[in-house]
Chains A and B, each alone.
Chain A
Amino acid sequence: MNYRSFLKSEWLTLVRRKQDTINALLFFVMVILLFPLGVDPSKAFLEPASGGIVWCAVALSILMAVESMYKEDFNDGSLEQWLTSGLSLPYLVFLKVFVQWLVVIVPLLLVLPLLANMLFFPIEQLMVMISTLLLGTPALFFIGAIGSALTVSLRRGAVLMLLLILPLYIPVIIFATGAIRAAQSGMSYSGQLAILAAISLTALVLSPLMAALSIKASMN
Chain B
Amino acid sequence: MSVNLQINNFWIERNERQLCRDLSFSVSDGELVRIAGDNGAGKSSLIKAILGWIPIEEGLIRLNGEDITHNRDLLLFDQIYLGHTPGIKSILSVNENLRMYCPNASEVALNEALQQVNLELFDDTPAAQLSAGQKRRVALARLWLTKKRIWFLDEPFTALDAHGVAALEAKIQSQLESGGAVVITTHQPLYHLSPKTVELTP
Contact = CB atoms under 8 A, between A and B. Distances in A.
Interface of A: 1-2, 4-6, 8-9, 12-13, 16-17, 72, 75-78, 80-81, 83-86, 216, 219-220
A34 B152 CA distance: 53
A86 B53 contact: no
Given A81-B101, A84-B81, A76 B90 contact: yes
Interface of B: 48, 51, 53-54, 73, 76-77, 79, 81, 83-92, 96-97, 99-103, 152
Contact of B86 (A6, A76, A85, A220): A76
B73 A86 contact: yes
Given A80-B83, A85-B76, A4 B89 contact: no
A220 B54 contact: yes
Nearest to A78: B87
A84 B79 contact: yes
A19 B92 CA distance: 15
Contacts of B81: 80-81, 84
Given A2-B103, A77-B85, A83 B96 contact: no
Nearest to A80: B83
Contacts of B53: 83-84, 216, 219-220
Given A80-B81, A81-B87, A8 B100 contact: yes
Contact of A84 (B51, B54, B102): B51
A11 to B, nearest CB: 11
B101 A1 contact: yes
A80 B76 contact: no
Contact of A9 (B48, B51, B100): B100
B92 A76 contact: no
B89 A9 contact: yes
Contacts of A220: 53-54
A13 B85 contact: no
A5 B103 contact: yes
Contacts of B90: 76
Given A5-B99, A77-B85, A78-B89, 12 more contacts: A5-B101, A6-B100, A13-B89, A76-B85, A78-B87, A81-B101, A84-B76, A84-B79, A84-B81, A86-B73, A86-B77, A216-B53
Contacts of B97: 9
Contacts of A5: 99-101, 103
A86 B102 CA distance: 14
Contacts of A13: 89, 91-92
Contacts of A9: 89, 92, 96-97, 99-100
26 contacts: A1-B100, A5-B99, A5-B101, A5-B103, A8-B99, A9-B92, A9-B97, A9-B100, A12-B91, A13-B89, A76-B86, A76-B89, A76-B90, A77-B86, A77-B87, A77-B88, A80-B83, A80-B87, A81-B81, A83-B51, A84-B53, A84-B79, A85-B76, A86-B77, A216-B53, A220-B53
A216 B72 CA distance: 14
B48 to A, nearest CB: 8
Contacts of B91: 12-13, 16-17
A6 B92 CA distance: 12
A86 B81 CA distance: 11
A85 B53 CA distance: 12
Nearest to A3: B103
A72 B82 CA distance: 17
Which 8 A-B residue pairings sit nearest by Cβ, starting from the closest?
A77-B85, A86-B76, A5-B103, A77-B87, A9-B100, A81-B87, A86-B77, A84-B81
Contacts of B99: 5, 8-9
B141 to A, nearest CB: 14
Nearest to B127: A76
A86 B125 CA distance: 29
